[in-house]
């Protein structure tokens, strides 16, 4: 609500309890409750790419940062293209990294972000090095292997042992709602074999996909221990 130029932001702010004990690790999955946007965008919209008033988006971002105690942090985003490109962010003045579906940074004070509706947002942290990463995994990005590629990238570019990686998969469309056709299920099954088949369900002659579970399986297959993969939040569709 607003009045006298005061705005109150009520956040849906989901975190990984285990990560709360990490000194200096600010993280979370934010919902769209609250915000200054109006009309069809009435929410805590933080995307400049959907047609919302740019000033409202800027105000939403400022309110968000202030609410979570990160007013001095710089948020860096990417133009998500449903692929598997990963960008290493080394400039802490950067706001937009370019076309990609994964970001990695070692820069303090930098907050890499991923924007999703029903796709899977994945946050990565590593025991030891001060390093964080994010990935955007829709079905196309999952087909391309963005989650596994991130694990390999952290290993090859930063010397990270996959067994030291922890990953959090945020709110996404669930198998309760995500009906797909053969144009999705067949490529996934061809690419990921039994990993994909275990995440497909047939109900009333319709196929449904557990996209988050598939990305979990891909991460496990890439060497991330199951106990270090966390699923956070509900289905975004129901």
CB within 8 Å of 199: residues ≥ 6 apart: 175, 209, 210, 211, 213, 214, 217
Fold for domain 76-172+213-238?
3.60.140
Q: Taking the domains of the chain in order of start, what are their residue ranges? A: 1-72, 76-172+213-238
- How far is residue 122's CA from residue 125's CA, in Å, rounded to a whole number? 10
pLDDT value, residue 82: 97
32 in Cβ contact with 64 (< 8 Å)? no
| Pick from 171, 151, 170: nearest CA to 161 | 151
Residue 192 has pLDDT above 80, yes or no: yes
Q: What confidence tens digit (pLDDT) does each residue in 39-66 have?
A: 888 888 777 888 888 898 888 788 878 7
Residue 74 has pLDDT above 50, yes or no: yes
Q: How far is residue 102 CA from its own chain's centroid?
A: 9
């Amino acid at each position: 609500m607003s009045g006298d130029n005061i705005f109150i932001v009520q956040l849906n702010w989901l975190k990984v309890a285990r990560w709360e004990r990490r000194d200096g690790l600010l993280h979370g999955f934010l919902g769209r409750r609250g915000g200054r946007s109006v009309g069809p965008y009435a929410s805590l919209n933080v995307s400049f790419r959907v047609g919302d008033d740019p000033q409202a988006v800027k105000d939403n971002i400022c309110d968000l940062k202030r609410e979570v105690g990160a007013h001095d942090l710089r948020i860096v985003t990417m133009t998500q293209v449903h692929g598997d490109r990963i960008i290493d962010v080394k400039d802490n003045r950067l706001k937009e990294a370019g076309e990609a579906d994964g970001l990695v940074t070692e820069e303090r004070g930098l907050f890499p972000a991923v924007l999703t509706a029903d796709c899977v947002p994945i946050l990565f942290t590593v025991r030891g090095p001060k390093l964080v990463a994010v990935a955007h995994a829709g079905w196309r990005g999952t087909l391309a292997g963005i989650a596994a590629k991130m694990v390999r990238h952290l290993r090859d570019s930063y010397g990270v042992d996959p067994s030291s990686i922890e990953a959090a998969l945020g709110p996404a469309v669930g198998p309760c709602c995500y009906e797909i056709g053969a144009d999705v299920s067949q490529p996934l099954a061809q690419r990921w074999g039994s990993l994909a088949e275990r995440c497909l369900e047939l109900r009333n002659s319709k196929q449904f996909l557990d996209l988050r579970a598939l990305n979990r399986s891909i991460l496990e297959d890439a060497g991330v221990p199951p106990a270090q993969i966390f699923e956070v939040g509900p289905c975004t569709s129901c």
